[in-house]
Structure 1
Amino acid sequence: MTSFTKIINQAKDRGVSLILERWFSQQIEPFGKLLGVNLDSQNKTLRLEALLNGESEPIHITIEDYEIVEQSGQTYLIFNKGAASREWISTVLTTFLFGRKLKLPESYAGMIQMGL
């Protein structure tokens, strides 16, 4: 990969990270505050940091594989595997998130799809 291509990919990843951060912040709001999102589209990795209500230390979540799927005019994001800095959160993610379709709002779908 050339330096120019790498710079373009990093800029694209930063832009999509900001869009994902806005969307994830809305989703996590009842449970705490999202502190940051970092996308690496080349390695299909997504890292999130959040401070959950009642916790004194932030948690770190790494999504190691994701995909975008379109069905019947809707766009979905699927997280296939990953882990969290706390074992119980990894278990929750495995049980309730990994492998399931998350419907992307139309206002975010196009921008996220272009970047991922």
Structure 2
Amino acid sequence: MSFKSTLAKFAVKQTPKKMMLWLANKKIKGVAKLTDFHFNPAEHKLYVQMILSGEQEKVELWIEDFTLVVHEKSYKLVIHQAQSTRPWLDKFLRNFALNRELKIPEQYADLIHGLLNSDFSEPEED
């Protein structure tokens, strides 16, 4: 494991949950407010609890199986299984997100690589 990926994993593990929520909420301001989360990269699981803008009830989202794929220098996330507490969000996930390669923005690629380094497939050869 590289120094950079070790440092990224250490930083995430040592950062208090309140700080992580604050940072995430700065990024998604105006769309939703994260109220809780749990991320387990070893088991490929993510749980998120949020309040969407304009709503008052919390929405829960479980991503229970995902893969990170490398194509040359770009990173893509493939979500294989997800569910939520909203039927419309479940349908959205089924129709637009599940089993599709979702490109990870370049500015977050190193962080994602550091967090999930051991879960990457080898780059595909063209």
Q: Same fold (TM over 0.5)?
A: yes
In the TM superposition, what is the alpha-carbon distance from 1:95 to its structure 2 partner? 1.0
Deviation at 1:15, TM superposition (A): 1.2
Please state how far the C-alpha of 1:66 moved relative to its aligned partner.
0.5
1:54 match: secondary structure: coil
The alpha carbon displacement at 1:99 in A equals 1.3
Any idea what SS the aligned residue of 2:99 has? coil
Amino acid aligned to 2:9 = K
Give runs of aligned pairs for residues 1-116 of structure 1, distance below 5 A. Answer: 12=9, 15=12, 18=20, 22=24, 26=27, 28-29=28-29, 31-116=31-116
Report how far residue 30 of structure 1 moved: 5.1
Structure number with the bigger relative contact order (C-alpha 8 A, sep ≥ 6) is: 2
Letter in 1 for 2:51: L
Of all paired residues, the percent bearing the same amino acid is 27
1:86–1:44 CA distance, 2 compared to 1 (3 A): same
SS in 1 for 2:90: helix
What runs of 5+ residues in structure 2 fail to find an aligned partner?
A: 1-7, 117-126
The separation in 2 between residues aligned to 1:107 and 1:97, in whole angstroms, is 21
What RMSD in Å do the two structures reach over aligned CA positions?
2.8
SS at match of 1:63: strand
Give TM-score scaled by structure 2 length: 0.65
| Aligned pairs, number | 102
Q: For structure 1, which runs of at least 5 residues remain unmatched after alignment?
A: 1-10
| Contact in 2 for aligned 1:13/1:39 (Cα 8 Å) | no
> Which residue identity is paired with 1:82?
A
Letter in 1 for 2:52: L
**How far apart are residue 73 of structure 1 and its match?**
1.6
SS at match of 2:54: coil
